[in-house]
Chain A
């Protein structure tokens, strides 16, 4: 929490303060779990790792929803595909790097296979296609007993998924996975940040704001949409592979439509198109229900999703730009307002 607060406060302060805030934040992120690990707050390390996986997924989904403005309601399907591919390979004693690469490759290929025909569709039709695909993937995983072991999940009795071992290092505890995931999230943030400020990112935002105008300005709309779609699958594939090695177990029930919805909420809550906002959003969807569980006590713990639904409605009405809106977007809005004012004065 302190980490995030310190980063939030710096967003409008000078560059130097920003550097200090980032280093303090990273220091907390690095040392915090190490110190907590032996105390009674050790569960926070695991929770942090789970939040990290959601952050990776939300970063990927943000490329599609936040930057290009396409609603995807079945993103969990690709997380599932990544997890199952990695699980199947790991059961056959493949090293982790092979599992991850294969998971990413298969996820991206399937994503493109769905994306190519689907990306021609208008916003909410695309949402329904992705939703349908998400359900089909979950049901197929559930029904293809011979490969996926159906609802009982992988691995089968007598098989096992070995923990990750990289460069002679075996990842055996929650702490190890926390650091691995934190590293991936930082890398993901950096990639998304660079994309945001590149030609590609600007093309995506142009498509989001006005597809026809973007096309007239020479943006290859289809190519850019496919690119965003494909890249988002990389995040899902990596997250899926790490998840399955950490849990060493996977069932289709982890990838319901509900989870896809939560991810969309993470992106919207945080602020569509804002990289750090999405990180905050993912943190919120994991942490808020946990915190509410403690605050509300065991009898009212079930009310937390009720409050969650309510907060989504209120956010949509009162703060559609998200908790931590993208800087570019708010600047553009401010400029647009200023423009209106000057027009008003000249009249």
Chain B
């Protein structure tokens, strides 16, 4: 029973971690909560579903699926860059609250665009491949969960290598540390900020597509709850901290699944538990489990 909940929790957690990476990287370079990230995630789910339904008529299902996920990744990355360019960049020098207002505006805009132009109902996400169940010692894992875990793991590993081993990754870290100095060192700060939005958006888009496959349905307002949970995960791991967001995602997913499985009527209370964790962590350890305390600059 506990092992089963662990497996479910890790699957859920890997989705949270993928979304959380988007929040944490943007926060790292801009010190701003990208409130619209949950809608980027939602757009990924919609693009993958719509393109899959078109492609499956002319291609075998697996290839159609791969292309639709790639399209979701690309379109979400593009959308994230557009949002940065038009809604956040003009506000980079303004008071702290203003970009957040703009972000809320973007969130409302995108949600209602999906509501108006695609569907106001929840859409069924087709089951693409036959799901095999594998039995382990006291738990059961299906091929969909394995796919999600593998995809998430590969993406996170490549992101980790990209941020730590490449020149562009170094530029991202430098911008996060000190944008002014980074720009003096010849780093094109605006392009690097756009790059973090691109990476975060791409991961969010894939998470959206995987989320649609896992739960079998998508809706225009599907972004809010996973978005909040992923933000909780990012805070849990220390916001701005890339490995922290991954760990935070897994920890939150596991806690949530254990709560849902072990506490009576736990599935009703699992969201309360997740949000309570958010509040408690922010109040007592705002630097997160793995972060370092940063003092306010005067």
Q: Which residues of A are interface residues toward B (Cβ below 8 A)?
A: 65, 69, 71, 117-118, 121-125, 127-129, 131-133, 135-136, 139-140, 143, 212, 257, 261, 264-265, 268, 272, 302-303, 305-306, 308-313, 315-317, 320
Q: How far is the CA of A309 from the CA of B120 in the complex (A)?
A: 17
* 27 A-B contacts (beta carbon < 8 Å): A121-B286, A122-B286, A122-B296, A123-B97, A124-B32, A124-B96, A128-B33, A128-B231, A132-B232, A132-B276, A135-B271, A136-B272, A139-B269, A257-B224, A302-B120, A305-B112, A306-B109, A306-B113, A306-B116, A310-B105, A312-B101, A312-B102, A313-B87, A315-B101, A316-B94, A316-B102, A317-B91
Contact A129 B97 (CB under 8 A): no
B residues within 8 A CB of A127? 33, 100
Residue of B nearest to A269 (CB): B101
Contact A316 B116 (CB under 8 A): no
Residue of A nearest to B265 (CB): A143
Contact A136 B279 (CB under 8 A): yes
Q: A124-B33, A312-B101, A316-B99 are in contact. Are A129 and B279 (CB under 8 A)?
A: yes
Interface residues of B in 102-137 (CB under 8 A from A): 102, 104-113, 115-116, 120
A residues within 8 A CB of B286? 121-122, 125
A residues within 8 A CB of B86? 313
Known: A212-B298, A312-B108. 5 other contacts (CB 8 A): A124-B32, A124-B33, A125-B286, A128-B33, A309-B108
CB distance from B103 to the nearest CB of A (A): 9
When the two chains form the complex, which single residue of B98, B100, B272, B298 contacts A139, counting CB atoms closer than 8 Å?
B272
B95 at the interface (CB under 8 A from A): yes
CB distance from A83 to the nearest CB of B (A): 20
Range for the number of chain B residues in contact with chain A: 35 or more
Interface residues of B in 50-67 (CB under 8 A from A): none
Contact A125 B108 (CB under 8 A): no
Q: Which residues of B are interface residues toward A (Cβ below 8 A)?
A: 32-33, 86-87, 90-91, 94-102, 104-113, 115-116, 120, 224, 228, 231-232, 235, 268-269, 271-272, 275-276, 278-279, 282-284, 286, 296, 298
B residues within 8 A CB of A128? 33, 231, 235, 278, 282
Contact A136 B275 (CB under 8 A): yes
Q: How far is the CA of A65 from the CA of B110 in the complex (A)?
A: 25
Q: How far is the CA of A121 from the CA of B105 in the complex (A)?
A: 24
When the two chains form the complex, which single residue of A124, A129, A306 contacts B100, counting CB atoms closer than 8 Å?
A124
A residues within 8 A CB of B296? 122
